[in-house]
Copies of this chain bind each other. A is one copy, B any other.
Amino acid sequence: MSGGVWFPALGLVAWMCCLSLGPVQGGKVLVMPVDGSHWLSMKILVKELTRRGHEVLVLVPETSLLIHGSESYKTEIYQVPYTKSELDGNFNQLKDGVFLKPPGISDLFVNVERLVNFTSMQVKGCESLLNNQPLMSQLRKGGFELVLTDPFLPCGSVLAHDFSIPAVYFLRGLPCQLDVKANQCPSPPSYVPVFFSDNTDTMTFPQRVKNILMSFVESYLCKVIYGHFDDLVSRYFEDSMTYKDLLSHGAIWLLRYDFTFEWPRPVMPNMVFIGGINCAKKAPLPADLAEFVDGSGDDGFIVFTLGSMVSNMPEEKAKHFFDAFRQIPQRVVWRYTGVTPEHVPKNVRLMKWLPQNDLLAHPKAKVFISHGGTHGIYEGICNAVPMLMFPLFGDQGDNVYRMVVRGVAETLSIYDVTTEKILAALNNIIHDKSYKEKIVELSQIHLDRPIEPLDLAVFWTEFTMRHKGATHLRVAAHELNWIQYHSLDVICFFVIILLTVLWVTLKCCLFCTRKCCRRGTAKRKSD
């Protein structure tokens, strides 16, 4: 900035100081994570809490995808009523479906169906834990001061409520905005776009009409998506309690939000924004990978991954990518475990797992091809790498759209991808400088913060333990029902008063008029 100021963000200093503080006398934290990519960022906080001297116990289902034991935290393994192959089967169904184009406008409903199929199995796992009396009794006596959980699944908040200890939620957001609704956060539909509406925060009249229609659809979907959850909650607590009611007891919501990615909107005092928490940890690249990307010359290289859960794709789709990569000068590091063609292009390195953030942090990284998951997007923003995205399911379509609108990404549909389309998009992103300029600007804003997301997450987790909650941040709206919240009873009262006054006035006028008329008539008669 010309004639301006630029100095190391205070946050960096705070972070360094924080690191130098070292472990402190710890509290006892019970962690109920959600398997899959959700766990990858929560793990960062869990590890940091352990490093700071807290006693952390992570509850792990006996069959899990990505949650494993670690030296950094203790685990307690609980039985679930499904086998590893059933879980894999359930998950593969979700994964494989993403490459099949849903018919017509049913995209949203297909997404919901896949989600409900996936979560219903997890809810069974949760019930199995809650019914495991010896384990529950052991946990209840464990002296935990806090439950750290991802409310994407209900088990953590059930445990917190059951044990009467505060809950800290760690999430990006919940389907159909249940997080926002449960935390009584206003969302005016005139400028807060509903998911799957393809709207930004600036809408025309037809877009606002669509947004409100979609918010009705969303309310209906909420019932479908959280049906299992509501059943579970009402069985364990009061009959009338819903999952939304239970969620509303959360002390602090650690949201992987940042307004370089989310649209600015009203927020609540107990919402803490830790978007980009997954960018914090950087490590040097393995020697052979470093050699591969260092050798990419001025053309640089492309990082390609479809997220932690999807590492392959149908052969004919993969062929388009191989053919496209064969024609570009950039090198490509691709997380791919699918079928490979006879001659893999020399500029392509296939890997089973790749150090995504470390690769993106490399100065020669030119484009990040991804599925539009939030972790990847934040890593793209942190490292200022423009993106080409193939949204697969869930919130990814919306995520991608936000980046495209900001001019830092292009998107293609995975259903009808071709070699030509990939080439055109890549060439555009690499040669049109505006993509890079805009992502650098976005990155500078994102990284310019008074305190690092990990430190903020640690602070508020420890705050909740120190003060046994965060009641001073809890709005009184939680004690109101829908009618009271919207002051509908007060409005009715005013309307009744107004009508009564009008009625009495009218009666008085009629009475006076009649009296005057009678007098007039009597007078005329007497005349």
Residues of A within 8 A of B (CB): 1, 3-11, 13-14, 16-18, 21, 24-28, 53-54, 143, 145, 185-186, 188-191, 200-202, 205, 208-209, 212, 259-260, 263-270, 444-445, 448, 450-451, 455-456, 458-460, 462-463, 465-468, 472-477, 479-480, 484-487, 489-490, 493-494
Contacts and interface: CB of A to CB of B under 8 A. Distances in A.
A4 B27 contact: yes
Given A4-B27, A10-B17, A188-B485, 12 more contacts: A1-B465, A5-B54, A6-B25, A10-B18, A10-B459, A13-B17, A186-B186, A191-B476, A205-B489, A263-B476, A264-B474, A265-B475
Nearest to A212: B490
Contacts of A480: 190-191
Nearest to A22: B7
Given A191-B476, A201-B475, A444-B467, A25 B10 contact: no
Greatest chain B CB density within 10 A among A5, A54, A209 is at A5
9 contacts: A3-B143, A4-B145, A10-B14, A10-B451, A17-B17, A201-B476, A205-B490, A266-B266, A266-B268
Contact of A145 (B3, B21, B260): B3
B10 A455 contact: yes
A27 to B, nearest CB: 5
A523 B270 CA distance: 75
Q: How many copies does the complex hold?
A: 2
Contacts of A463: 448
Given A17-B14, A25-B5, A185 B477 contact: no
Given A17-B13, A467-B444, A267 B267 contact: yes
Nearest to A479: B202
Nearest to A488: B190
Contact of A267 (B4, B209, B268, B455): B268
A190 B13 CA distance: 42
A270 B186 CA distance: 16
Contacts of A267: 266-269
A250 to B, nearest CB: 14
Nearest to A215: B487
A190 B270 CA distance: 19
A297 to B, nearest CB: 33
Contacts of A27: 3-5
Nearest to A263: B476
Contacts of A444: 467
Nearest to A18: B10
A9 B472 CA distance: 18
A230 B451 CA distance: 39
Consensus secondary structure, chain A interface: loop
Nearest to A193: B476
A11 B463 CA distance: 12
Contacts of A476: 191, 200-202, 263-264
Contacts of A458: 10
B475 A264 contact: yes
Contacts of A263: 476
A185 B8 CA distance: 32
B456 A450 contact: yes
Nearest to A210: B490
Contacts of A484: 190, 208
Contact of A473 (B188, B264, B268, B456): B264
A129 to B, nearest CB: 25
Contacts of A466: 1, 4-6, 448
Contact of A186 (B11, B266, B450, B465): B266
B212 A487 contact: yes
A436 to B, nearest CB: 18
Contacts of A208: 484, 487, 489-490
Contact of A487 (B6, B189, B260): B189
Nearest to A467: B445
A265 B473 CA distance: 8
Given A14-B13, A269-B265, A21 B4 contact: no
A477 B264 CA distance: 10
A97 to B, nearest CB: 34
Given A448-B466, A450-B455, A259 B472 contact: yes
A199 to B, nearest CB: 10
Contacts of A14: 10-11, 13-14, 17, 450-451
Contacts of A487: 188-190, 208, 212
A188 to B, nearest CB: 6
A467 B450 CA distance: 14
A475 B266 CA distance: 8
Contacts of A473: 259, 264
Contacts of A4: 27, 145, 465-466
Contacts of A212: 487, 490, 494
